[in-house]
Amino acid sequence: MCPERLLRTVPHEAENPIEKSLREAFLLLQDQLKPPFPLTIPFPPEYSQLNHAIAFGILAQPHLAKVHLTHLHSIVVDGYEIFTSILLKLCNESFSRLLEVPKCQLLWVCSMLIHVSAEKIETLFISLMRQITGGDFSESNLWLSVEVLKILSNNWDWLVEEPIVLSSALYVYLRLLADHFRLGGSFKLEELKRMEIDFCVKALREHFQLSMHIGRDLVRILQDVTYIPEFKDIWKDLLFDPKSFQVSEFSSLSNLYWRRTPSHFFLLRISPQMESQLRFLLTFVKWGSQKRYQTWFVKKHLYWPGSESMISDIVRFICCVHHPSNEIIHSNVISRWAVIGWLLKSCRRNYYEANAKLALFYDWLFFDEKIDNIMNIEPAMLLMVNSVPQYVDITHMLLEFLFLLVDNYDVHHREMLAGSRSGKGSTRSFQHYICVAIKRLMKMKHLLTFDGIYDKFASAFAKAVQALEVGNGLIETTVQGPLINEAALEKVESLVKDATGKGADVLVGGRRHSLGRTFYEPTVLGNVNNEMLISSQEVFGPVAPLLRFKTEEEAIQIANDTNAGLAAYIFTRSMPRSWRVSEALEYGLVGVNEGLISTEVAPFGGFKQSGLGREGSKYGIDEYLEIKIISSSSLNLEFRSCKRVSILHHGFLDSSNAISLGKYFRIQCDFIPPAPPLTDPDFVLKEHPPFKISKCRPEICLIHPSS
Amino acid sequence: MSCDYYIHMRRAIQLKDIVPAATNTVNTQFILLEKGSIAQDGKEMTCLALVADATASVHFQMWGSECKTFEPGNIIHLADGIFSYHKNNLVLRAGKRGKAEKVGEFTMLFVETPNMSEIRGARDPNNPKKFVQEATVSPHSKIFTPSR
């Protein structure tokens, strides 16, 4: 009798090794699977084989399943550990390919295993829950959702003894409700929603202590369902009547905020296959090679409408679960922040994008160095910092979101959040990491902003500058120290006064700092124009003037309208524009989308009053050379009588040039190699341009007739 | 003799080491990067694909039911395949005696250069069975240009 298949067969696909081992065991031991069962306990290798055979029988033969199960009960010696391990492996690796009958059987046997308290049954249920895909409203996915929930709802006694399963199930079904509730329609779906609501409400109301294990992410996912009446009431009680939950440790919502969510919760909404693909991407794929993998990932996991709902879960996974080793961070494997940037860009709808950004910044809000991990907040920080030259709009977008979040997230507990100086939590770290990003922007002395984005930029920039910490330079978190002396301070003050007198706005700062002495507040001046002294004089202080412009020509004209000309920077995405503008700018150094532009191997120097000549590189050596001309006449005749000429090497002549010279004069030339330099023996002039005889500098010092 | 054949058959090679030959002895594993369009060749469907492993890429000619089954991202094991000229293109294919099977997806590293199908060679004059690489027509596939 040919046994049934467990997994869907696809042409040209190798046989699944798990199914193969199960079937082979079944075929081998078929006869032993019929009653009466032998009473002897088999030895370990046979025991494992028998487990495999029974597993296959239960999954493939529903009409004989009970018989197989009884057999299993009678031979078990390891608390069903091998048996659940087999099912766990099948579930983790091939669940989506299971045929209908084996799938039903799998769920049936899992529910049976609860009653015998099988080893690792809780892990098996977690694995089953991971197979419920987020944002997926297909029949099979909803069916799985219902069936698992039915089993859990029928086994509350067991659930209460398994806090991890209970809290995990709560996390899963709250997330699923957020997707399901928005979809109206079929009767089955209504039934599912009702079951989900009842389950979650029961977990929260009657077993809040266990639900609390989720930690602060419980608040995040609860907020997505507060429009459901039952959860609205729960939210109200969490805020205003915490005692109603009857848990002594819970006296205020802040108790939840200060609990970091254990990382295993973030695996719940990612399928094992998605997890292995993401981990592979972040462990092995090099910068530049990620495009194909990203396309395949989207095609497999993010292609149907509604699948975007998983993006916030994936972001949470990447930030909080997958922490690459130092070795990987320093290798050229693609970084987490880049993958997150790609995921954020893949969001089409605002709702999902906002959720994804919240998932990215959630740990920033309540960061406590004692319990939180810096690796959780590193991707967001790096994404903002690394977007600055080329994708400034991403940094702005994220900063804007962050400021909005800090201002509006849970107004009742505002004092706990970052941003407010008196609050506990991530104030210091938050500001420190923002400052790294701002530092790059602040390097620009004049910020010419395109009129269209002026307001947006000005407000975001002003907000960022406000967060800069001023103080003693020896303290780690200080970004800005004092000015050099009183005269510098007075100069800054006079320039700011002149600007404001002529119509500039002070967006931030604009006065001496409360720390006194020579401290000045970081200042942003808006609506500056060329009339004001500040746009043509060097400030040497923490003042960033913003000037508007409407066209490229206007920008160039404003930039060139000064008698200084050392360094300029432009930010643009257009390649032709970058060439046009950088050539038109009368500056010795031009940075395009880049803030760090000086290096000793490139010529450093300015136009106009910024100085003459260049430092560094081969052009810098010119200042140390003397050019000499030697004019000679009436030598030709004498040359023709010469038979040999010795040419002493000097300056830019070398042996090949000497030979050319000889050819010109049609006489044999010997080349005398240079004497060692008298001054610096280590100095070697590496470059000398090859030149033809017509262009030679007459640095021939000695041409004499030889005998 | 037969055990030599067995060993020869079993040895898996990397794509950088394949040489054009009339024998179906290529045992290798690669990941499918891109599929071309499906065409008809008489009664059968054909489809050209760009495949690669960690050492090189090559053009893989799919035949019949392979065309609809294999998708970009699939990791494929090829047994007894053949790497030879087929209608003026140098391609790797399963052929009549070979078998291509999907064994996984996504989790394999690859490089797109060199492309073994874009290397022209000639028979070694001393050993007519040996092929010698002469010139590289292109470092990347000219059919599946690298995505920017």
The model's pLDDT over A96-154, given as tens digits with 9 standing for 90+, comes to 999 999 999 999 999 999 999 999 999 999 999 999 999 888 889 999 999 999 999 99
| Identity of the residue in A11, A277, A291 whose CB atom sits nearest the CB atom of B147 | A291
Report whether A293 contacts A276 (CB < 8 A): no
Amino acid at B70: F
Mean pLDDT of B109-118: 92
Instruction: Tell whether the model's pLDDT for residue A609 goes beyond 90.
Output: no
Instruction: Tell whether the model's pLDDT for residue A583 goes beyond 70.
Output: yes
HSE-CB of A358 using CA atoms within 13 angstroms = 20
How far is C-alpha A649 from the geometric centre of its chain's CA atoms?
59
- Residue B19: count of CB within 10 angstroms of its CB: 16
Q: Is B101 on the interface with A (CB under 8 A)?
A: yes
Least confidently predicted of A428-432, A437-441, A462-466, A700-704: A700-704
> CB neighbours of A451 closer than 8 A, spacing ≥ 6?
A548, A549, A550
| Identity of the residue in A14, A295, A296 whose CB atom sits nearest the CB atom of B101 | A14
pLDDT given for residue A434 in this prediction: 53
| Identity of the residue in A12, A296, A300 whose CB atom sits nearest the CB atom of B66 | A12
Average pLDDT over chain B reads 84
Q: In chain A, whose CA is at the least distance from the CA of B65?
A: A11
Instruction: Tell whether the model's pLDDT for residue A525 goes beyond 50.
Output: yes
In three-state secondary structure terms, A462 is helix
Give the bridge partners for A394, in sequence order: none
pLDDT given for residue B86 in this prediction: 85
Alpha-helical runs (H) found in A564-686: 575-584, 617-620, 636-641, 655-665
Asked if A10 lies within 8 A of B69 by C-beta distance, the reply is yes
Q: Which of B99, B107, B111, B112 to probe the A interface (max A CBs under 10 A)?
A: B107
Distance from the B20 Cα atom to the nearest Cα atom in chain A, whole angstroms? 25
Q: Is A575 on the interface with B (CB under 8 A)?
A: no
Confidence of residue A405 (pLDDT cuts 50, 70, 90): confident
Confidence of residue B76 (pLDDT cuts 50, 70, 90): very high
Instruction: Tell whether the model's pLDDT for residue A613 goes beyond 70.
Output: yes
Confidence of residue A417 (pLDDT cuts 50, 70, 90): low
Q: Is B77 on the interface with A (CB under 8 A)?
A: yes
pLDDT given for residue A437 in this prediction: 47
> CB neighbours of B8 closer than 8 A, spacing ≥ 6?
B25
Domain boundaries defined on chain A: 17-214, 270-431, 437-619, 626-707
Alpha-helical runs (H) found in A272-349: 272-284, 290-301, 309-320, 326-330, 336-346
Distance from the B53 Cα atom to the nearest Cα atom in chain A, whole angstroms? 13
Q: What is the CATH number that goes with domain A437-619?
A: 3.40.309.10
> CB neighbours of B91 closer than 8 A, spacing ≥ 6?
B48, B58, B59, B60, B61, B83, B84, B85, B117
Q: How far apart are CA A377 and CA A367, in angstroms?
A: 9
Please name the helix (run of DSSP H) or strand (run of DSSP E) that holds residue A669, with its range, or none. Answer: strand A668-672
Tell me the ipTM for this assembly.
0.88
Confidence of residue A706 (pLDDT cuts 50, 70, 90): very low
Confidence of residue A355 (pLDDT cuts 50, 70, 90): very high
**E strand segments, A395-440:** none
Average pLDDT over chain A reads 83
- Partners of A297 on chain B (C-beta within 8 Å) are 106
pLDDT given for residue A166 in this prediction: 96
Least confidently predicted of A77-81, A83-87, A192-196, B86-90: B86-90
pLDDT given for residue A45 in this prediction: 87
CA angle A173, A175, A181 (to 5 degrees): 85
Q: Enter the tokens of residue B123.
A: 């028979």
> CB neighbours of A280 closer than 8 A, spacing ≥ 6?
A293, B106, B107
Confidence of residue A680 (pLDDT cuts 50, 70, 90): very low
Report whether B119 contacts B107 (CB < 8 A): no
pLDDT given for residue A625 in this prediction: 85
Amino acid at A143: W
Least confidently predicted of A164-173, A529-538, A661-670: A661-670
Confidence of residue A28 (pLDDT cuts 50, 70, 90): very high
Asked if B69 lies within 8 A of A293 by C-beta distance, the reply is no
In three-state secondary structure terms, B28 is strand
State the DSSP code for A134. Answer: T
Q: Is B3 on the interface with A (CB under 8 A)?
A: no
Amino acid at A9: T
Q: Which residues 1-60 on chain A approach chain B with CB closer than 8 angstroms?
A: 10-14
pLDDT given for residue B4 in this prediction: 40
Least confidently predicted of A369-378, A582-591, B63-72: A369-378
